[in-house]
Amino acid sequence: MRGLWNLTWLEVKIFVREPLGFIGTVLIPVVLFVALGRSLGERVESSSRLQGFVESDFPIFVVMLTAINAVVSLVAVIAIYREGGILKRLRATPLRPHTILTAHVLVKLIFTTMTLILLALAGRRFYPVALEVPWVSFGLALLLTTISISSIGFLIASVVPTARFAQPLGSLLLFPMLGISGLFVPLEAMPAAVQGVAHALPLTYAVSLLRGIWLGDSWMAHGWDVLGLAVVFGLCTALSSRVFRWE
C-alpha cells in the first residue's frame, strides 16, 4: 500500500479544486436537506404519516442519496482516468493497482463523511423534530452500505466503454434500485414480481439496515441485511477484478 496516503491526500486536493466539486458534493445536499425538512416540518402537526416520514424516511433518503451520489461520481472519476490514460500512467509506477482504486474510494468516503456530519449538525439545529439516533451504530451501518455500493460502482466502471456513459449509466442503475428499495413504498405493498427483484438488489438491504439501526433496532435483527451487503461486496469485487480494464 505504498503511496496510499500520499495519493489519497493529493486526490482530495485535486477534488476540491474542481469547479462545483466541494459545493456540489458537500454543501448542496445540506442546504436541500434543511430547506425541505423545514418546509415539511411545518405540516407535521396535522398528519402522523408525515411525522414518520420526517422522523426516519426522509433522513434515510437523504443519506442514501448522498451515498449513491458519491458512488456515481466514483464511477465517473474512474472512467475519466481510464479514458485519459491517467490510470495507465499511474500503473507504470510502483503503485499497485488496488492502491490506486482504494485511494479513490477513500476520497469519496472522506467527502461523504463530511457531508453527513454537516447534515447531522444542521439537523440538530434546524430540523423540525428532535431525533434520538444511535450515531455510532448508524455510522458503521452507513460505512458498510457505502463500501458495498462502491463495489457495484466498480463493476459499472469496469464495463462502461467511455467516460461519457459512466455517470448516466451509474445513475440509471442505482436510482431505480433506490426506487424499489422499500424506502418510498413498503415492500409488502409492491407486486410480487417487483418484490422478488427488490430482494435481489443490494439497496433494499441497505435501506432496511439503515432504517432499522436509525430507529434503534439491534444489529442482530439485521444480520441478513449485513450478510446481503457483504455478499454483494464480495461478488462485485471479485467480478470487477476479473473484468476491470486499465485502458
- The phi, psi pair for 94, rounded to 5°, reads -70, 0
CA distances (Å), origin 121, targets 67, 135, 145, 189, 205: 18, 12, 21, 34, 26
Given candidates 35, 45, 52, 88, which one binds other proteins under the rule CB under 8 A?
88
Please name which of 220, 175, 184 lies closest in space to residue 52, comparing C-alpha atoms: 184
Cβ burial 21-30 (10 Å sphere, 16+ → b, else e)? eeeebbeebb
Given candidates 20, 42, 48, 92, which one binds other proteins under the rule CB under 8 A?
92
For position 12 contacting other proteins by CB under 8 A, the verdict is no
Given candidates 24, 52, 85, 216, which one binds other proteins under the rule CB under 8 A?
85
For position 173 contacting other proteins by CB under 8 A, the verdict is no
For position 98 contacting other proteins by CB under 8 A, the verdict is no
Shortest spacing between CB 18 and other proteins, in angstroms: 7
Q: Quick one: which segment of 1-9, 29-37, 122-130, 142-150 binds other proteins (CB under 8 A)?
A: 1-9
For position 97 contacting other proteins by CB under 8 A, the verdict is no
The span from the CA of 111 to the CA of 11, in Å, is 11
Given candidates 3, 41, 134, 179, which one binds other proteins under the rule CB under 8 A?
3
The span from the CA of 217 to the CA of 44, in Å, is 24
What are the grid coordinates assigned to 187, written together?
415492500
**C-beta of residue 34 within 8 angstroms of C-beta of residue 122:** yes
Given candidates 44, 86, 187, 239, which one binds other proteins under the rule CB under 8 A?
86
Shortest spacing between CB 64 and other proteins, in angstroms: 29
SS3 content of the chain, % helix, strand, coil (to 5): 80, 0, 20
Given candidates 1, 14, 23, 238, which one binds other proteins under the rule CB under 8 A?
14
For position 6 contacting other proteins by CB under 8 A, the verdict is yes
Q: Which residues bind other proteins (CB under 8 A)?
A: 2-3, 6-7, 10-11, 13-14, 17-18, 81, 84-86, 88-89, 91-96
